[in-house]
Amino acid sequence: MAQSARNTVKSVERTFRIIGGLQELGGAGVTELSTHLDLPKSTVHNYLSTLEQEAYVVKADDEYRIGLRFLEHGAYARNQSPIFEIARPELDRLANETGELCNLLVEEHGKGTYLYRTRGENAVRVKEHVGNRVCLHSTALGKAILAHLSEDRVDEIIDRHGLPQTTERTVTDRDELFERLAEIRERGFAFDDEERLSGLRCVAAPVLSNDDRVLGAISVSGPSHRFEDHRFREELPKRVLETANVLELNVTYS
């Protein structure tokens, strides 16, 4: 796992570097992308035209953009997760009742990917979308997941991705993180008190399978001023835990 593959296909790496660049720029022309990635124009052109032929990229208005064909694979991957379909209606309900933003995150390759996000009436607008990948240590969702992985696995993840700081409250120390994870395991849910985004608070609970593997985590998040003490520390955790329990039951019997 740790050592990188020996015989790597460079063209594959390059393909996705180009896809990534295209997404970063939000669509681009050949020249623009080639300077952005520091690759020859012709190379970029060859890749883009091949990708376009395969419908992974669209050409419109003199610029290339990411195509919907990725959704074919992305949605498929999402449906492989046993909790997505089950969590959807329950999270919708939770969002409705709390009025806030609710999320579903799962771990893969040591990072978290948002599988679903649903908005209650007062939900904050954050720029993240479904499909975004985040470091696990800086969100309530991620910590809820980390708390239920083996210590070795957590070490491995930290080695791979580090503990990058996103706000002044982010936990960046390995030992402190492990302490927090122990608390979370005991308590049953996790907090994020502006550790990832200033002004944003979040409550998350893990979703466990019947053999205690962690399948993912769900959360409610909102602005700190609306997540004041009692609601943040008592009320919302109760709601999130209830929902997580429902999910665990539904996952087991389906």
Nearest to 235 by CA among 217, 220, 218: 220
To DNA, the closest distance from the beta carbon of 230 in angstroms equals: 51
Instruction: Reduce the DSSP state of residue 205 to 3 states and report it.
Output: strand
Cβ 183 vs Cβ 254: under 8 Å: no
Q: State which residue, 8 or 150, has the beta carbon closest to DNA.
A: 8
42 lies in the binding site for DNA (CB under 7 A):
yes
Which one among 31, 40, 71, 162 touches a second copy, defined by CB under 8 A?
71
The interface mask with a second copy, positions 117-156, x = CB under 8 A, is ------------xxxxx-----------------------
Rounded to whole angstroms, the Cα distance separating 120 from 183 reads 29
48 lies in the binding site for DNA (CB under 7 A):
yes
Q: What is the CA radius of gyration of the chain?
A: 20
68 lies in the binding site for a second copy (CB under 8 A):
yes
250 lies in the binding site for a second copy (CB under 8 A):
no
To a second copy, the closest distance from the beta carbon of 204 in angstroms equals: 18
Which one among 9, 26, 168, 229 touches DNA, defined by CB under 7 A?
9
Cβ 227 vs Cβ 165: under 8 Å: no
Which one among 23, 31, 79, 209 touches DNA, defined by CB under 7 A?
31
Which one among 19, 22, 47, 217 touches DNA, defined by CB under 7 A?
47
Cβ 139 vs Cβ 204: under 8 Å: yes
Which one among 30, 64, 67, 215 touches a second copy, defined by CB under 8 A?
67
19 lies in the binding site for a second copy (CB under 8 A):
yes
Cβ 198 vs Cβ 158: under 8 Å: no
Rounded to whole angstroms, the Cα distance separating 91 from 104 reads 8
To a second copy, the closest distance from the beta carbon of 50 in angstroms equals: 4
Compute the C-alpha angle 238/240/246, nearest 5°: 105
User: Which own/partner pairs from 6-14 qualify as long-range (CB within 8 Å, at least 24 positions apart)?
Assistant: 14/39, 14/43, 14/47
Tokens 């979370």 sit at which residue? 184
61 lies in the binding site for DNA (CB under 7 A):
no
Cβ 83 vs Cβ 104: under 8 Å: yes
Instruction: Reduce the DSSP state of residue 140 to 3 states and report it.
Output: helix
Rounded to whole angstroms, the Cα distance separating 151 from 217 reads 18
194 lies in the binding site for DNA (CB under 7 A):
no
Q: State which residue, 4 or 254, has the beta carbon closest to DNA.
A: 4
Binding site for a second copy (CB under 8 A): 4-9, 11-13, 15-16, 19, 23, 27, 42, 45-47, 49-56, 58, 65-80, 106, 108-109, 111, 113, 115, 129-133
Binding site for DNA (CB under 7 A): 5-11, 14, 29-32, 39-43, 45-49, 59, 62-63
